[in-house]
Amino acid sequence: MPEAISGFSKLSKSEKIEWLLNNYFSQKETARQILTRYWNSDEILQKLHDEFIENTITNFYLPFGVAPNFLINNHLYTIPMTIEESSVVAAASKAAKFWYDRGGFKTKVISTEKIGQVHFNFKGNYQKLESFFRAIKPKLISDTAAITENMVKRGGGIKDIVLKDKTKELTNYYQLHATFETLDAMGANFINSCLEQFATTLKNEAATYANFTQEEGDIEIIMSILSNYVPNCLVRAEVSCPIDDLKSKDISNPELFAQKFKQAITIAEIEPFRAVTHNKGIMNGIDAVVLATGNDFRAVEAGVHAYASRTGNYRSLTHCTVDDGIFKFWIEIPLALGTVGGLTSLHPLVKLALELLEKPTAKDLMQIVAVAGLAQNFAAVKSLTTTGIQQGHMKMHLMNILNQFEATEKEKAQLVEHFKTNVVTHSAVVAAIKSLRQ
Ligand code: MEV
């Protein structure tokens, strides 16, 4: 174990790597080669990536794939996806084509409200705090004018601020709970800047408010931060068709398929162990598009899972009905996304992804991402309730195993052909490679 190091961030990239090699790696040259092999020879591009975060020593590649044939509100999209899991893009593409042939996806943005809070302590009379809040509310808003000017010009800004009494849960604890419209920006910086200004105004105004005692005037700000829980930034995506139209290569009995599919969704609505895996499958699609378009997938994940638990039980994010001969399947989720600001104008591949999506607004992107989640879930539940998941997964996994064994292109072609009619398991692939090489 090395000694703790101070000033690591000030070292050059090569010095950082030397320190790592000297302290953690027995095969120093191998480790150095791996790290430097991933450097980009385009120095400008490399510098851009170096500066995204602190202490960059190399780049970490993920595949950037595309899923074509997504018909959304009668507009055809090819969706960019960044993900390492082998079956995700294939499943999305398959679901896209399936629904392309049945009228495509219908989507709607339900709401676009973002939230931020100033958390503070106040020791005193609540009625007095409420009167004070009412008196300073216009100033809370006007003091942010320099921050909000451009957003307001474009039609966004602060929608409201309310005072919340949380003292039943925690002594002396109150909030300014603010709502925002941030248009095409995800809005984290905008919201946090407004909140910090609210906190300053709140504290300063309290200190000179004539009706407060000295103790009441001494408001203690705990923190000011946006919330990633955005239950009023909601989007819905849906597919539907007559049950008979579900008939396809994998679905010989559409009525039986529809009933089993619906029950699989109901299970995820009532059973948390299944709901978590079910929603994980949805996030396979969602995260891949969120990442490719330079958005914050951790924020999306946190908000989506909180939404899935809003009733007190963790539940499915998708729902299904089979009524009057019609199969209907939909998702409703909160998505705080941006198509301007952040990585969207910095990362060349993110810019390319947004261009591929025809420069979407944040609302367009919400709908595209929701569709990717719904399509992914349709593909997963369709496989689960018909062939089982392993058939498709192992087909995709075949390539990973072949790569592990450094199979040549010729070997790959032969083995892919072989496994068209044989079950893919890890041991079967290993045996087939060995027998081919003998
Ligand atoms: C695997 O990444 C995702 C699935 O487990 C989702 C599901 O079970 O619905 C296949």
- Compute the distance from residue 381 Cα to the ligand 1 centre, in Å: 8
- How many angstroms is it from 389 CA to the middle of ligand 1? 8
Which residues have C-beta atoms less than 6 Å from ligand 1? 85, 277-278, 280-281, 284, 380-381, 384, 389
Stretch 345-355: mean pLDDT, rounded? 96
Residue 310, φ and ψ in degrees, nearest 5: -65, -20
Cα(91) to centroid(ligand 1), Å:
11
Taking only the tens place, the pLDDT of each residue in 141-190 is 999 999 999 999 999 999 999 999 999 999 999 999 999 999 999 999 99
pLDDT in tens, 352-385: 999 999 999 999 999 999 999 999 999 999 999 9
Q: Is the pLDDT of residue 394 over 80?
A: no
85 is catalytic: yes
388 confidence band (pLDDT: 50, 70, 90): confident
Give the position, in ligand 1's atom list, of the atom nearest the Cα of 268: 9
Atom of ligand 1 nearest to the CA of 278: 9
- Taking the centre of ligand 1 as the mean of its atom positions, its distance from the CA of residue 386, in whole angstroms, is 14
For ligand 1, atom 6, the nearest C-alpha belongs to 281
Give the per-residue pLDDT at 399.
87
**Candidate of 389, 390, 395 to mutate for ligand 1, largest count of ligand atoms within 8 Å of Cβ:** 389
CA of 271 to the centre of ligand 1 (A): 15
Class of CATH domain 114-227: alpha beta
Distance, in Å, from the CA atom of 77 to the CA atom of 181, rounded to the nearest integer, reads 27
Q: What percent of the chain has pLDDT over 90?
A: 93
Of the listed 137, 393, 412, 418, which one is catalytic? Answer: 393
Checking if the pLDDT of 397 tops 90, the result is no
Decide if 320 contacts 107 (C-beta within 8 A).
Answer: no
Which position among 106, 280, 328, 395 bears the catalytic label? Answer: 280
328 is catalytic: no
Q: How much is the average pLDDT of 110-134?
A: 98
Say if residue 392's pLDDT is above 80: no
Q: Which amino acid is at 271?
A: E
Does pLDDT of 391 surpass 90? no
- 132 and 209 in contact (C-beta within 8 Å)? yes
Tell me the best of 278, 329, 378, 397 to mutate to test the pocket of ligand 1, counting ligand atoms within 8 Å of each CB and taking the most: 278
Domain segments of the chain as ranges? 8-50, 65-110+234-387, 114-227, 393-437
- pLDDT band, very low/low/confident/very high, at 4 (cuts 50, 70, 90): very high
Q: Is the pLDDT of residue 300 over 80?
A: yes
Query: What span, in angstroms and rounded, lies between the C-alpha atoms of 65 and 423?
Result: 26
How far apart, in whole angstroms, are the C-alpha atoms of residue 115 and residue 288?
25
Q: For residue 405, name the pLDDT band (cuts at 50, 70, 90).
A: very high
pLDDT in the model for residue 161 = 98
Q: Nearest C-alpha to atom 2 of ligand 1 is from which residue? A: 281
377 CA: nearest ligand 1 atom: 9
Residue 396 pLDDT greater than 80, yes or no: no
> For the CA atoms of the chain, what is the radius of gyration?
27
The proportion of the chain whose per-residue pLDDT surpasses 70, expressed as a percent, equals 100
Length in residues, the chain: 438
Nearest CA to ligand 1 atom 3: 281
The number of the ligand 1 atom at minimal distance from the alpha carbon of 383 is: 10
Q: Whose CA is nearest to atom 7 of ligand 1?
A: 278
pLDDT at 424: 87
279, 280, 286: residue to mutate for ligand 1 pocket, most atoms within 8 A of CB: 280
What pLDDT shows up at residue 104? 98
pLDDT for 5-51, tens place per residue? 999 999 999 999 999 999 999 999 999 999 999 999 999 999 999 99
Q: Give the confidence band of 420 by pLDDT, cuts at 50, 70, 90.
A: confident
In this structure, how many other beta carbons lie within 10 angstroms of the beta carbon of residue 418? 16
**pTM recorded for the entire structure:** 0.92
How many other C-beta atoms lie within 10 A of the C-beta of residue 422? 12
Catalytic residue status for 393? yes
Question: Measured in angstroms, how far is the CA atom of residue 262 from the centroid of ligand 1?
Answer: 16
User: Listing from the earlier edge strand, what are the strands of the sheet with 106-109?
Assistant: 106-109, 234-242, 326-334, 318-323
Across 172-176, 297-301, 405-409, least confident range: 405-409
pLDDT-derived band of residue 428, with 50, 70 and 90 as boundaries? very high
Q: Calculate how far, in angstroms, residue 272's C-alpha sits from the geometric centre of ligand 1.
A: 14
Give the pLDDT band (50/70/90) at residue 261.
very high
The arrangement of secondary structure in 65-110+234-387, i.e. its CATH architecture, is Alpha-Beta Complex (3.90)
Active site residue 84: no
The residue whose CA has the least distance to atom 4 of ligand 1 is 281
Q: What is the pLDDT of residues 63-117, one digit of tens each?
A: 999 999 999 999 999 999 999 998 999 999 999 999 999 999 999 999 999 999 9
